[in-house]
Amino acid sequence: MIRKEDYAKMLTGEYEILKQQTADITHQDSLLQPQPGGNSMNWVLGHLVDNLIQILKVLGGELPDGLPNLSHYGYGSEPVKGDEQGVLPLPELIDAYGSLTDQIISRLDQMTEEDFDKEMDFWQDKSRRGYVAFFYFFHNTYHLGQLEQLRNLAGKTEKVI
């Protein structure tokens, strides 16, 4: 069983990786789309922010004020192919990621281990809250790993981590 303190530590580590992978990346860089297809860094970051919202909901937390409209980045959304309507500036996405990370850690601090281990509905069955949160964390990690290649696409080929 994963403990809530371990979960918070992993989230903090992922936020640090995100900041390293987006350092010196411009909004225009974030719109570059890999060829022959795939998602831009902008879409990946927006999707990561949307995923953190799902984690916070699983934990029963309150969304922070001022979150941007992320409808362009949800599950099954179309790739970001340019600076079109609904596409958010890169710094706004990074700030939202940081704000949500802080909010999730704050929520974890408020919870007991029993709260974290409580069963909840998940898809068509019941699962422990910690498992559901970890499922979304895995999804987060998957997309976070894409940032390295997208950073390279923007011409930033130095070793980051």
Residue 134 lies in a domain: yes
Residue 21's pLDDT is what?
A: 97
Q: Based on the structure, what is the number of domains in the chain?
A: 1
Whether cis (ω within 30° of 0) applies to the bond prior to 36 is yes
Can you give the CATH number for the domain in which 62 is found?
1.20.120.450
Residue 47 lies in a domain: yes
DSSP, res 125: E
pTM of the model: 0.94
* Residue 103 domain boundaries: 4-153
Residue 8 lies in a domain: yes
Residue 159 lies in a domain: no
Residue 84 lies in a domain: yes
Residue 40 lies in a domain: yes
Residue 123's pLDDT is what?
A: 85
Q: Residue 143: count other Cβ atoms within 10 Å of its Cβ.
A: 15
Residue 130's pLDDT is what?
A: 93
| Size of the chain, expressed as the number of residues it contains | 161
Residue 104's pLDDT is what?
A: 97
Query: 126: which 2 tokens?
Result: 């019941």
Residue 124's pLDDT is what?
A: 86
Q: Of the candidates 7, 103, 12, which has an alpha carbon nearest to the alpha carbon of residue 61?
A: 103
Q: How far apart are CA 149 and CA 156, in angstroms?
A: 9
pLDDT tens-place values along the chain, 161 residues long: 788 999 999 999 999 999 999 999 999 999 999 999 889 999 999 999 999 999 999 999 999 899 999 999 998 888 898 899 999 999 999 999 999 999 999 999 999 999 999 999 998 899 999 999 999 999 999 999 999 999 999 999 988 77
Query: 129: which 2 tokens?
Result: 């809250």
Q: Of the candidates 94, 91, 82, which has an alpha carbon nearest to the alpha carbon of residue 31?
A: 82
Residue 149's pLDDT is what?
A: 95
Residue 158 lies in a domain: no
Q: Of the candidates 148, 120, 151, 147, which has an alpha carbon nearest to the alpha carbon of residue 136?
A: 120
